Amino acid sequence: MTEHQGRDTTGAVPGLFITGTDTGVGKTFVTARVARLLRRQGRTVGVSKPVASGARWIDGRWLADDTVSLAEAAEVDGPPERVTPWAFPDPVAPAVAARRQGVTLTLEAIAQAVRRCGQAGTALLVEGVGGLLCPLTETATVADLAGALGLPVIVVARRSLGTLNHTLLTLEVARSRGLVVAGLVVNEVEPAAGLADATNVDELRRWIAVPLLAVVAHQCGGASGVPVLEAVDWWRLCKPPFSA
């Protein structure tokens, strides 16, 4: 049983909630790139990954690599807790990682921490943990946080065997929760190879009812620009009233 939350756009600021079909699909990569693109357009960007697991002990605090990447992309001033208030060492679901450290997470506290990162005129980019049904607290999932924030959702999918099933499951969960999915980004975590990689994007187009915003080719050596992401009007997707 989860704390199922409906969308609440009251007082909503422009923004996006970036989720994935799984862990390791490139959510941070996409979120950081979008942050840099918006800043290049003169937008003020707020970033939040409110809970992170698998953090390292650095300078007297638990610090996740994802937090560092997002803070650098948005040029966040101040301590990393402004991006990630809760960081835990164990690389497991946030609810489990918090419990192992004797910390109790609540959906309300997490949502409030995220909202503090946004303000009028700011593009607020929120990165979730794992996928939509990843346990976030003892009673709430990442989908509940997306619903509580009322932001349109971007789904990042790994291009590999299983992409179709994982993506369609994620979109089904979003639809059942009343979440607005603004679009899908397919990311090649590894170089495309095999019949599944060659066919799954075309097959996805036959099955999905949301925009396929970009297919990001495998990035060798950390390319400075990603043209397919630069071609997307991210600010339009961020702005209320939200629509898919």
What is d(CA 207, CA 184) in angstroms, rounded to the nearest whole number?
12
Structure tokens at 107: 């959906």
Peptide bond into 241 cis (omega under 30): yes
Of 49, 115, 158, 177, the active-site residue reads 49
Q: What b/e readout covers 72-97, taking b as 16+ CB neighbours within 10 angstroms?
A: ebbebeeebebbbbbbbeeebbbbeb
Q: Please give the distance of CA 158 from its chain centroid, rounded to a whole number.
A: 13
Residue 239 bears catalytic tag: no
Q: What is the side-by-side order of every strand in the sheet holding 181-187?
A: 44-48, 122-131, 15-20, 153-158, 181-187, 212-216
Strands 212-216 and 181-187: parallel
From the DSSP assignment, how many helices (H) and strands (E) are in the chain?
A: 9, 10
Whole-angstrom Cα distance, residue 22 to residue 173? Answer: 13
Q: Helix H segments across the chain? A: 27-40, 65-74, 94-100, 107-115, 142-149, 163-176, 194-207, 227-230, 234-238
Task: List residues with catalytic annotation.
Answer: 49
